[in-house]
Amino acid sequence: MVEGAPPHFVPEPPLDTPAGSELPVRHRLHPSSSKAVVAALVAASLLLAGCGGGDDEETPAEAAPSEPTSSETTEAPPEPTYWPLTGLERTGNAPKHPVIVTKVDNTSSSAPQVGLGSADLVVEELVEGGYTRLAAFYYSKVPANIGPVRSMRASDIGIVPEGATVVTSGAAPVTINRIDGAGIPWITEGDAGVYRETSRSAPYNLFARLGEISKRLKVEEEPPAYLPWGTEADLPRGGKASTLTADFGAHSTSWQFQDGGYVNTDSYAAEGDRFPADSVLVLRVKVGDAGYRDPAGYPVPETKFEGKGAALLFHGGRVIRGTWTKDGLTGAIELSTKDGDLAVPAGHVWVELVPAVNGDLTFAK
C-alpha cells in the first residue's frame, strides 16, 4: 500500500571597485623618481631575456578550477508519491502489506457493517437475487476488524487488483477454481485472524482482524493506480446532480451530496463508520451467468468487467458523462469523454457496477 548534502562552501566574491576609484596603495612613488624606476625595470627585463636558456615558449599558468554555483549543487526535490487507491499524496514509506480486498455482506442482515469507514475504495457488485455485495479495499489504513465477511464471486476476477489478497468466507467450488486460476490469493475461515462473532447469527457473524492479517502478508512492489487520478480542476463542467440512486433489482443504493461529499442514505454501516465518499463512479456493465445456482436456487450472475460501457462520475454536486474501457478482466480502468481523457479527482471513491440490462440509474438536481 514510504522519508542532504552538507552545505556547499562558496567563496566570497572580490569586492567591487567603483569606476574611477583607486585601489588601496601601500607606498606612493615621488613623481620625480618615476622615470628612473621605469628605466631600471626595463633594463632588468632585457637582461633576464638575454640570459634565457633557449627558444621554449612560455607556458601560461593553469586556471584554478571554478567552484560550482549553488544552483548547480542544489538537489531537485523528490517526486511526490501517491496512494494507488485514492490518488492522494503520500508521505512516508508504502505499507509492507498488499492491498487487502474484503468481501462484505450488503443486506439488512449485515447491520451494522464494521470497518467500511477505513476503506480506501469500495466496489458494489451484483450477486444472485438482485442483491449486492461489497468489495472493500484497504491499503493506506487497515481497521482492527471488518465484517460481516461473505463469499467471493467470479466477478471478483475483474475487480480485485493485481497483487491483492482477498478475505472471504469462501466460495462455490467452481468459483474457487476460477479464482485460483486467476492467481488471486485468499484468506478464509480457519486462517489466523478470521473468527466468528458470537453476538451475531450465522452466516452474518464471520469477521476478520485485518490489522492482524496485514502483519503477516508481504509484498515486494507497490500496486498500480486503480483509477486514472487527477484533480477537480481537470473535470469538464458537467451538469448538476445532488442525488443519485443505483438500482440493482432487489437492492438499490442512494447517495446525497452533502458538505462536499456523498452520503449513503440507506447504508447498513455503523454510525460513524460509513464510507466517506468524495466521488461516486457509476459504470454500466454487462452481466452473464456464472453457470451455477446458489443454495436457494437462484442463478448466480457474473459481472463482465471488461470491454467498455457508459460511465457517470458524480463529484462536487455535478455529473460528468463518459465511457469506461478495460482491456480484459485484469486490464486498467480507463475513462474518457467525447473531448478526451477523464480523470477522477483524488479522494475516496465508491464504484457502482450497475448492470447495463435489468439495472438502472437515476439522479436529480
Beta strands in 141-258 (DSSP E): 165-167, 186-187, 194-196, 206-208, 229-230, 239-240, 243-247, 252-258
Alpha carbons 180 and 167: distance in angstroms, whole number: 14
Alpha carbons 320 and 188: distance in angstroms, whole number: 39
For the segment 262-289, the average pLDDT, to the nearest whole number, is 96
Is residue 9 a part of any domain in this protein?
no
For the segment 308-328, the average pLDDT, to the nearest whole number, is 98
For the segment 221-237, the average pLDDT, to the nearest whole number, is 95
| CATH code of residue 350 | 3.50.90.10
Is residue 25 a part of any domain in this protein?
no
Burial track 131-145 (b if 16+ CB lie within 10 A, e otherwise): ebbbbbbbbbebbeb
Is residue 61 a part of any domain in this protein?
no
Is residue 38 a part of any domain in this protein?
no
Instruction: Look at residue 58 and tell me whether its pLDDT is greater than 50.
Output: no
Is residue 334 a part of any domain in this protein?
yes
146 residue type, one letter: I
- What the block records as the C-alpha cell of 217 is 502478508
Burial track 147-167 (b if 16+ CB lie within 10 A, e otherwise): bbbbbbbbbbbbbbbebbbbb
Q: Which range (67-81, 118-132, 245-259, 314-328) has the least confidence?
A: 67-81
For the segment 52-75, the average pLDDT, to the nearest whole number, is 50
Total-model pTM: 0.79
Structural domain that includes position 358:
229-364
pLDDT (tens digit per residue) in 10-34: 333 333 433 333 333 333 333 344 4
For the segment 69-74, the average pLDDT, to the nearest whole number, is 57
pLDDT (tens digit per residue) in 32-56: 444 343 334 333 343 334 444 434 4
Do 318 and 244 form a contact (C-beta atoms < 8 A)? no
Is residue 53 a part of any domain in this protein?
no
Is residue 265 a part of any domain in this protein?
yes
For the segment 265-292, the average pLDDT, to the nearest whole number, is 96
DSSP letter (8 states) at residue 236: -
Instruction: Look at residue 362 and tell me whether its pLDDT is greater than 80.
Output: yes
User: pLDDT at position 102, please?
Assistant: 98
